[in-house]
Amino acid sequence: MKSLPVFQSEELIASWHHGEDAALWNITESRVGILTTDFITPVTDDPFRYGEIAAANSLSDVYAMGGRPIIALNIVCFPTSCEPISVLQQILEGGAGKVAEARAMLAGGHSVQDEEPKYGLVVFGEVEKSEMWTVGTARPGDALILTKPVGTGIAVTAVKAGLFAAEHASAAELSMAKLNAVPPLLSAELRRAVTAATDLTGFGLASHSLDLASEGTSLEVDCSKIPLLPGIAEMADMGFIPAGSYENKNYIGEKVINCSPMGRFAEDIVFDPQTSGGMLIAAPPEAAEKIASAARASGFPDTAVIGRFTEGNGELTLI
């Protein structure tokens, strides 16, 4: 993408070259528009649940900017030659339900034939400029919050192998399908206290958490405080590590220092590629505790403060 031209405008705040979760532009002096798109291949054999997960994953980018979703369009790739149209109907119904749950409008979309199903959304949202969240702005002294348990990559790999307990697979699916609707849970004061935020997805906890750090800032994460999906430790011990974990380690591993007594399992956790994972939020310690408490009280019971930002050169230390 380095060869692509960078569009310059007084209205445009952030586009793809900023590494943000969504495009941002000024609508007025106080209102910021948020535009994002995302789609995924199936992570479950249940079409309705797949639709829910894919939609939640797409909507997450708007929440990651501190905003609220307003309107969405479907993106659909589907093999009508080998799958009944009723399967597509269930996928779309699952997605529509999540858009409605987000109190947004679903207003159309586009579909093409493809050999493998793919589904997601284009989403437009808004946020007050004073409450907008971005990456790359966490400061030394800030705490790091995580709102959902980790381990979806390991879970999906174990499910494909047919060795993950049904109740554990169900827990993973429910976690992925849960909307990251954290901003509406917080008071305006707490939303303004957030210094950086992102959603945890395919690049894993290590990469996404380092994305939050400002220049001259490092991060320590206490791996014993990272919430995990049930059954993940056992599956990792059995070797069900997705290929994406190794790709993530190759990408960011040189910046990760593993001092955790959990040993290799600590790396299995932080490099695990997530689908529709939780929010990663940086805030000063006192505000972070209030944010975590509000999230736990409002439907995110696994929310935990898992680390702190320090002065440094962009490294992640696992303790």
Predicted confidence at residue 11, as pLDDT, reads 86
Q: Report the chain's mean pLDDT, rounded to a whole number.
A: 95
pLDDT of residue 6: 77
Q: What is the mean pLDDT of residues 242-252?
A: 95
Token duo for residue 259: 């001092």
pLDDT tens-place string over residues 172-207: 999 999 999 999 999 999 999 999 999 999 999 999
Residue 128 buriedness (CB in 10 A; 0-12 / 13-18 / 19+) = middle
Q: Predicted confidence band at 94 (pLDDT cuts at 50, 70, 90)?
A: very high
**Confidence at residue 18, expressed as pLDDT on a 0 to 100 scale:** 65
Domains of the chain: 12-131 (3.30.1330.10), 143-318 (3.90.650.10)
Amino acid at 234: E
pLDDT at 268 over 90: yes
The percentage of residues in the chain with a pLDDT greater than 70, rounded to a whole number, is: 99
Please compute the mean of the pLDDT values over residues 255-267 and round it to a whole number.
Answer: 96
**Would you state the structure tokens that stand for residue 155, as one six-digit string?**
């879970």
